[in-house]
Amino acid sequence: MNSQTPAIQADLIILGGGCAGLSLATRLAIEAPSLHVLIVEPRLTYEEDRTWCGWRVQSHLFEDCAVAEWPQWRVVASSRTIQRGSDAYPYEMIRSDLFYAKALAAIARSSTCSMLQGVSAETCTILEANVEVALSDGSTAVAPWVIDTRPQHRTLRSPWLWQHFLGFLLEFEPTESAFHHVPTLMDFQPEGACVAQFMYVLPIREREFLCEWTQFSRMECMPLELEANLLNWLNRHALPGWKLKRKESGSLPMAVAPASTQGRVIQAGTRGGSMRASSGYAFHAIQRWSESCAASLRTTGVPTAPERSRLLEVMDTLFLQVLQQRSCSAASLFGALFQNCPSDSLVRFLAGLPRTADLWPVVRSLPWTRFLRAGPAAAYNWGRR
């Protein structure tokens, strides 16, 4: 392409066809067929690169991509096994290949949604009533609104931690079941130099398990160390004869995201603050945002940014401050939460949808004297954001 090529015109340009970009595009392809949407995505092909888990507190568009759901879950902390559950809110697992296939099919069926693959978005320039996006192939695209979900390199503001993880999807010989049939969300291991280390074990099918070693840490990710820890744990706990079907890994920032900018370029997904700082969960918050953003586009023609709760961000700042300064171990914090807080209140809180009446049980479950001690540093850091 050269600079003579006319700009591509659209009503909305979505930068990034990942979880947030495709969730919104799918909604619009189905619900707003008159809106011209352009999605810009560098990937040429999509693979099963991750699974998204979390509590389904509200229904969403990708429920048919769930490959497992569990009414109960366990946390193993300080040699105690805490098993909890909810009849109302299952913990579910969405497979990314099914998600991508559903989204791409909806976009392909639409006559007004189109996708530019193999192309990156470079810069956004605000013109009077439009935004011009410069693309890596030399072309440009213009629309009144842009949704930006591109990964962002940002300096994390204190308190912060990394959540590094490596997971193996394993298939076992058809003998007895290798692990417990109830998912283990956190099985705390000796911390070492990290703030916390734990195993996450999900029984997907009778002989199939996702086993993940996770670290909360201030250090950079050391992939070889993660793999050695995971293999060591598997050697100690798993039946022999497992087959590795797939690996997944990531490093998620556990820090409250900076305030999003408003205007004609709206930040969404992880970039827009949809990832919960204290847990790294983002999928279900992204679904809620895509539903409300699509509704707003349909009715007013204007997209909306992800909703952010100042109260939850303050609570997460305090929680991360306690973890970062290690005034209380992560095992005892999460153990106390899962042990003492009624499940439905805790799930709504963790999912980012607490009712007012859920907050006190959450606060009461925690060792609040440790939180009082971390309060001044958390307040100082909150003020510096």
- Residues found near ligand FAD in the complex (CB under 6 A): 15-21, 40-43, 50-54, 120-121, 149-151, 248, 250, 252, 269-270, 280-283, 286
C-alpha 293/C-alpha 296 separation (Å) is 5
Q: Among residues 263, 274, 351, 264, which one has the least CA distance to residue 308?
A: 274
- Closest approach of Cβ 51 to ligand FAD, in Å? 6
- 201 vs 377, beta carbon nearer ligand FAD: 201
- Closest approach of Cβ 104 to ligand FAD, in Å? 12
For residue 243, the SS3 value is strand
What percent helix, strand, coil does the chain show, rounded to 5? 35, 30, 35
- Closest approach of Cβ 358 to ligand FAD, in Å? 19
C-alpha 55/C-alpha 287 separation (Å) is 12
- Closest approach of Cβ 95 to ligand FAD, in Å? 11
Pair type for strands 91-95 and 51-55: antiparallel
- 33 vs 151, beta carbon nearer ligand FAD: 151
Instruction: Let me know: does 297 contact 10? Beta carbons within 8 Å.
Output: no
- 352 vs 374, beta carbon nearer ligand FAD: 352
Residue nearest ligand FAD by beta-carbon distance: 18
- 153 vs 384, beta carbon nearer ligand FAD: 153
- 44 vs 129, beta carbon nearer ligand FAD: 44
Helical packing angle, 19-31 and 283-300, nearest 10°? 40
- Closest approach of Cβ 275 to ligand FAD, in Å? 6
Tracing tokens 């692990």 back to the chain, one arrives at 179
